[in-house]
Amino acid sequence: MIFFQSMKMAFSSIRTKKLRSFLTMLGIIIGVFSLVVLVSLVSGATDNIKTAVNELGTDLVTVDDDGESVVFTMEYIETLTDLPHADKVAPVIYSFDMISGPQDKGTAITYGTTPDFMAIQGLNVVYGRFLMTPDNDNHSSVAVVSNATAVDLFGRENVIGETLTVSGRPYMIVGVLKSSNDFANLLMGKYQIYIPITSAVRLSSNARMSSIPEIYLSAVDSDTSALVEELEAEFTDKFGSTEDVYIFNQSQISSAMDKITGALSLLLGGIAAISLLVGGIGIMNIMLVSVTERTREIGIRKAIGARPGVILLQFLIEAMTLSLIGCMIGLVLSWLGLQVINIIGNVSFSISIPVAIVAVVFSSGVGILFGLYPARKAAAMKPIDALRYN
């Protein structure tokens, strides 16, 4: 009963002095808005980047040679499947080529590879098929293209059977991949072409089947660390050392991203928290003014029997109410701000629920922390002194 009566009095006090109450809450509103928007943007960007990384494959290990002391032949690459933690292995010859279709042209990353590349990279074919073993055996001029390549160069997604020109050579399209998000296109390139590795050697005078520059491997049970150790041991035994071989563990990207974004979120959250603390100081200042203004009221309430705990609770609830209303306004403005960003930037960011919960808890804590001193000051007043106050 006392709690609800205190709440009613707190709202009555806020309504009576609307402008002062709003200015008091402004620091909390700005702090919550900054905290929620900044951390939500970081969280949303992180999720998009991790999705793009997952499209590249998280159980993927890539191996690059230096083209001189280390030479990967097709026969040797096939023996790598004998490693205990190697699931699938695919040789890769890549190049940057001019491509053209009926409606547009551009520069694409061309991957010359084998059928296992699809499973290793986690590619999804929505139309047609991926490369097959007969394509490599017959040196077929066939290609699988990214969704953006089909749409931009042909004006539609399903372009199976159409002819694409790659560096002046015609390739029949046999497959179209699933559409990738913007971050994936940024990491992998918008235009991607996949052709048989036996056909890729004809696009570049430097490409040779006897010297494959890059190998993609997937790990059994996604244990890429164990696969890397086995590759290092294998290359040391084969070539004497691993100094001229670059082994990259794809799962390291996700781990690095988690560390970077975690630190960035803490940094931005800390900066925004300073605004909340400043808002808390504003609440304490106004509550001290309110205590002074209502000194005679406090004296009357004490004279008719109000206990110090009741007076303390009243002013503490008022401080918390100011803080929480400011928090709610800040959350609403945060949602509106993110919607504006989504519309302008054609992106999809949303409020991070854990961050919103932290904002509410932190705002409550600020209200209690900075409202406690004015509340205790009011509760400690002597009735006779308060009644004499003019």
pLDDT number for residue 65: 76
- Annotate 351-364 with b (16+ C-beta within 10 A) or e (fewer): bbeebbebbbebbe
Residue 163 β-bridge partners: 172
For the ranges 196-210, 297-311, 340-354, the lowest mean pLDDT is seen at 297-311
Average pLDDT value for residue range 250-262: 70
pLDDT number for residue 50: 66
Residue 96 β-bridge partners: 109
Three-state secondary-structure class, residue 111: strand
pLDDT number for residue 59: 66
Which range, 11-15, 345-349, 353-357, has the best average confidence (pLDDT)? 353-357
Tell me if 49 sits within 8 A of 343, measured CB to CB.
no
pLDDT number for residue 51: 66
Q: Residue 142: is its pLDDT beyond 90? A: yes
Q: Residue 131: is its pLDDT beyond 80? A: yes
Tell me if 33 sits within 8 A of 330, measured CB to CB.
yes
Tell me if 287 sits within 8 A of 57, measured CB to CB.
no
Question: What is the rounded distance in angstroms from the CA atom of residue 90 to the CA atom of residue 218?
Answer: 9
pLDDT number for residue 367: 78
Average pLDDT value for residue range 41-47: 75
Looking at residue 295, the DSSP 8-state letter turns out to be H
Question: What is the rounded distance in angstroms from the CA atom of residue 194 to the CA atom of residue 390?
Answer: 86
Q: How confident is the model at residue 54 (pLDDT cuts 50, 70, 90)?
A: low
Average pLDDT value for residue range 94-98: 87
Q: Residue 122: is its pLDDT beyond 70? A: yes
Q: How confident is the model at residue 70 (pLDDT cuts 50, 70, 90)?
A: low
pTM over 0.75: no
Q: How confident is the model at residue 67 (pLDDT cuts 50, 70, 90)?
A: low
- Residue 92, token pair as written in the block: 């890769």
pLDDT number for residue 298: 67
| Mean pLDDT computed over every residue of the chain | 80
Average pLDDT value for residue range 108-129: 90
Residue whose tokens read 């199976």: 160
